[in-house]
Amino acid sequence: MQDILSVALRALSFLFLLQAAGVALFLAIFGRLLASSADAIRGLGRWSARVGLAFVAAHYALEAARMAGEFSGIWDLSLQRTALRSGGAAFGVRVLGLSLVALSLRRVDAGALVLGVVGTAIAVAAFILVGHTAVHPQRWILAPLLMLHLLIVAFWLGALLPLYLASLRESPEISTTLVNAFSRLATWLVPGILVAGVALAILLVPSIGVFAQPYGWLLLTKVALFAGLMGLASLNKWRLGPALGRGDHRGGLGFRRSLLSEYVLIFVVLTVTAVMTTFFSPE
Amino acid sequence: MKSSTLLSGIALLALVGVAHAHAHLKRSIPADASVVSVAPSSVVLTFSEAARLTAAWIQKGDAAKQKLGPLPERPATEVTVALPALQPGTYVVSWRALSDDGHVMPGQIRFAVSESPGAGPTQH
């Protein structure tokens, strides 16, 4: 039971951490284009960072229970000390990064944008302090690849709800400018998720035989979900985004539905990742 | 994203790689799914890399789990855990191990202690 709860908390902590970090990136890159939605987007980022902090703390607290194989392990000081030694640094860095992101979203100035980007980089860097990349002999290449992979995921995930809010609150002209600016950058960046992901898999997966095991199945599930996400992103870029610019009500509705579908699919990918990294390894 | 990029990416997965991930069980004494004629006094677990056992249990059939201990304090690739006196029957030894990379991995082996002490250990 504690394993299932741990997977749920891990997936939710991934979601809110990457969303908060992504909102900070969104504001740093596209903030100057916003008029009437900027405050709501900052509020979303602050809320995401706070909820992310709660899930990160809850997931961390549960590690001792996982070590004990029962919930009473949470109160075992010896196991909590062991958890602190093994994952304390990553936890601390996550908390620091999310706190900086939350702090940056309370202000509206250039310094706040820089603070948000620094907080994002720190929050994402926590992922290279645990797991395969922390102990792998080829850490020098795995760590930057994982950072790149996660920063682009944060950029993509973190833009979805801000684009949703902007499509509701901004004029059709501003919405179109924003969607076009995001699409131009995303077209270059998003394939980097796959490129970095494949490079990571090449380094971590020992042989093709892994694809006959749960780890490999989950990896292929992620690739299939990513292909579905790319389909939705293409639909937004070529059909629904332009309809939004025409002030077409049904087009706007379709655009927002598609953004929410992308959001749900990314959450499914993060949940698959949480299951994969909690229970399996590329043996 | 062109489909050719996706396909070539997946194809690349088959080419190279080095395995270094969470510690997983490589072998054990008694072996998983084995039948032994003499009840073992301990179980020896060999992991792919150093791991620290944080909890371990033994369960006979549908009976309640019994905690095993004391467990080694330090991480090691080979871990020996003492077992209580075992009667003939089917047993599951399960554990939680903390890998060097900070992940907690569950694992288990099953073995049976046969009724006939004359028969040697067999693998299934």
Give residues 22 to 41 of B whose Cβ lies within 8 Å of A: 22, 24
* Helices assigned H by DSSP within A127-213: 132-135, 139-169, 172-189, 191-204
Q: Look at residue A205 in the predicted model and tell me its pLDDT.
A: 77
A185 or A108, higher pLDDT: A185
A204 contacts on B by Cβ (under 8 Å): 17-21
A187 Cβ under 8 Å from any chain B Cβ: no
Structure confidence at residue A100 as a pLDDT band (50, 70, 90): very high
Sign of CA dihedral A134, A139, A142, A146: positive
- Asked whether the predicted pLDDT for residue A223 surpasses 90, the reply is no
- Asked whether the predicted pLDDT for residue B12 surpasses 80, the reply is no
Q: Look at residue A247 in the predicted model and tell me its pLDDT.
A: 67
Q: Look at residue A271 in the predicted model and tell me its pLDDT.
A: 93
CA-based Rg of chain A, rounded to a whole angstrom? 19
| Neighbour count for residue A77 (Cβ, 10 Å) | 8
Q: Look at residue B90 in the predicted model and tell me its pLDDT.
A: 95
Residues 6+ apart with CB under 8 A from B89: B60, B61, B112, B113
Which of B16, B24, B102 faces A134 most closely, judged by CB atoms? B102
Q: 3-state SS string over A249-281?
A: HHHHHHHHHHHHHHHHHHHHHHHHHHHHHHHCC
Distances in Å between the Cα of A79 and the Cα atoms of A277, B56, B99 are 21, 14, 14
Sign of CA dihedral A241, A245, A251, A253: positive
Helices (runs of H) and strands (runs of E) counted in chain A: 11, 0
Q: CA-to-CA distance for B37 and B28, rounded, in angstroms?
A: 16
Candidates A26, A27, A35; CA nearest to A172 is A35
Helices (runs of H) and strands (runs of E) counted in chain B: 1, 8
Question: How long is chain B?
Answer: 124
B13 contacts on A by Cβ (under 8 Å): 198, 201-202, 205, 208, 211
Which of A131, A206, A211 faces B19 most closely, judged by CB atoms? A206
Candidates A51, A53, A106, A74; CA nearest to A5 is A74
Q: Look at residue A267 in the predicted model and tell me its pLDDT.
A: 94
Q: Look at residue A30 in the predicted model and tell me its pLDDT.
A: 95
Contact B88, B115 (CB under 8 A): yes
- Asked whether the predicted pLDDT for residue A252 surpasses 60, the reply is yes
Q: Look at residue A137 in the predicted model and tell me its pLDDT.
A: 79
Q: What is the mean pLDDT of chain B?
A: 79
Average pLDDT for residues B20-42, to the nearest whole number?
Answer: 86
Q: CA-to-CA distance for A54 and A168, rounded, in angstroms?
A: 29
- Report the chain B residue with the minimal C-alpha distance to residue A191: B1
Q: What architecture is the B20-123 domain classified under in CATH?
A: Sandwich (2.60)
B98–A67 C-beta distance less than 8 A? yes
B14–A131 C-beta distance less than 8 A? no
Which of A87, A134, A198 faces B13 most closely, judged by CB atoms? A198
Helix (H), strand (E) at residue A121: helix A110-125
Token pair of A162 as six digits = 């801000």
Which of the 8 DSSP states describes residue B87? -
A223 Cβ under 8 Å from any chain B Cβ: yes
Q: Look at residue A153 in the predicted model and tell me its pLDDT.
A: 93
Average the pLDDT over each of A34-43, A47-56, A241-250 and give the range with the smallest value: A241-250
Nearest-neighbour CA in chain A from B119: distance (Å): 34
- Report the chain B residue with the minimal C-alpha distance to residue A201: B13
B104–A68 C-beta distance less than 8 A? no
Average pLDDT for residues A47-61, to the nearest whole number?
Answer: 95
A194–B9 C-beta distance less than 8 A? yes
Q: What is the mean pLDDT of chain A?
A: 89
- Asked whether the predicted pLDDT for residue B5 surpasses 90, the reply is no
Per-residue pLDDT tens over the stretch A111-154 = 899 999 999 999 999 998 877 777 777 888 888 999 999 999 99
Per-residue pLDDT tens over the stretch B50-106 = 889 999 999 998 899 999 988 888 889 999 999 999 999 999 999 999 887 788 888
Give residues 26 to 65 of A whose Cβ lies within 8 Å of B: 63
Q: Look at residue A283 in the predicted model and tell me its pLDDT.
A: 62
- Report the chain B residue with the minimal C-alpha distance to residue A190: B1
Q: Look at residue B102 in the predicted model and tell me its pLDDT.
A: 81
Average pLDDT for residues A68-76, to the nearest whole number?
Answer: 89
Q: Look at residue A204 in the predicted model and tell me its pLDDT.
A: 79
Q: Look at residue A129 in the predicted model and tell me its pLDDT.
A: 86
